[in-house]
Amino acid sequence: MRKTTWMRGAAALVLALSGALGAARAQGLAEADARFLQAAAGSGTFEVEAAELAQQRAESSKVKAYAAKVREQHRAMNGDLKALALRKQVTLPDQPGAPDRRTLEELRNRTGADFDLVYVEKAAVDAHVMANRLYETAARQSEDPEVRDFAVRSLPGVAEHLAMGRALQRDAPAPAGADRIQPPVKGEAPAVSPASREAPASIAPAAK
């Protein structure tokens, strides 16, 4: 009798544990939502670290002002993201992804105007293009209401950073040598300087 009672109790415990595990799984995030939180964390960490490097190494006052704004806003976003991930029991990466780590290493080896060009291209524009796409997708498709709300609230800031980065890129001075005549594309006639004797009359300088 005791053996039968014990077996029934054990069976009930197993069923209870199974039910608890099933409930935990039911309350968990969809895989896509968890991946979004992890990708957003890596992206936000990269932007903060790149912006801190810009404060030390950039030459342009506009680049430094942009980096200061990005650092402040991404720090706030990162704080909200960590709190959300904690509630959802999602483990976040403690560093950016491999491509962004390579960009940070490149930025550490540059200073002045050379730094500005790389920072604007890769951190202000390219990285924010990817982040904007990431947040747009989550804002539309996330299954979890809290994750979707975080993406919707954060998206305008990411989009603003991208627009500001593109403005910096447009205003950046052309790299040295950009005004030189470029080599011809295969199958096309070579470019001709207006000062050349071989230049057609339409572009040759007028005779004095």
pLDDT at 175: 56
Q: For residue 131, what pLDDT band results from cuts at 50, 70 and 90? A: very high
What pLDDT digit, counting tens, does each position of 44-86 carry? 999 999 999 999 999 999 999 999 999 999 999 999 999 999 9
Least confident of 63-72, 88-97, 171-180, 194-203: 194-203
Q: For residue 183, what pLDDT band results from cuts at 50, 70 and 90? A: very low
3-16 in b/e form (b: 16+ CB < 10 A) is eeeeeeeeeeeeee
pTM value is 0.71
Asked if the model's pLDDT at residue 155 lies above 60, the reply is yes
Average pLDDT score over residue span 90-106: 97
User: CA 51 to CA 66: how far, in whole Å?
Assistant: 8
pLDDT at 194: 37
| Percent of the chain whose pLDDT exceeds 90 | 68
Rg (CA), the chain: 27
Asked if the model's pLDDT at residue 4 lies above 90, the reply is no
**Residue 39 and residue 133 in contact, taking contact as beta carbons nearer than 8 Å:** no
Asked if the model's pLDDT at residue 176 lies above 90, the reply is no
Burial class of 182 by CB neighbour count within 10 A (0 to 12, 13 to 18, 19+): exposed
State which amino acid sits at residue 166.
R
Q: Which residue has the tokens 């202000």?
A: 124
Least confident of 10-19, 94-103, 137-146: 10-19
Q: Can you list the domains of the chain with their CATH numbers?
A: 27-171 (1.20.1260.10)
Write out the DSSP string of the chain. Answer: -HHHHHHHHHHHHHHHHHHHHHHHHHHSPPHHHHHHHHHHHHHHHHHHHHHHHHHHHB--HHHHHHHHHHHHHHHHHHHHHHHHHHHHT-PPPSS--HHHHHHHHHHHT--HHHHHHHIIIIIIIIHHHHHHHHHHHHHHH-SSHHHHHHHHHHHHHHHHHHHHHHHHHHHSPPPTTTTSPPPPPTTSPPP--TTSTTS-TTTSPPP-
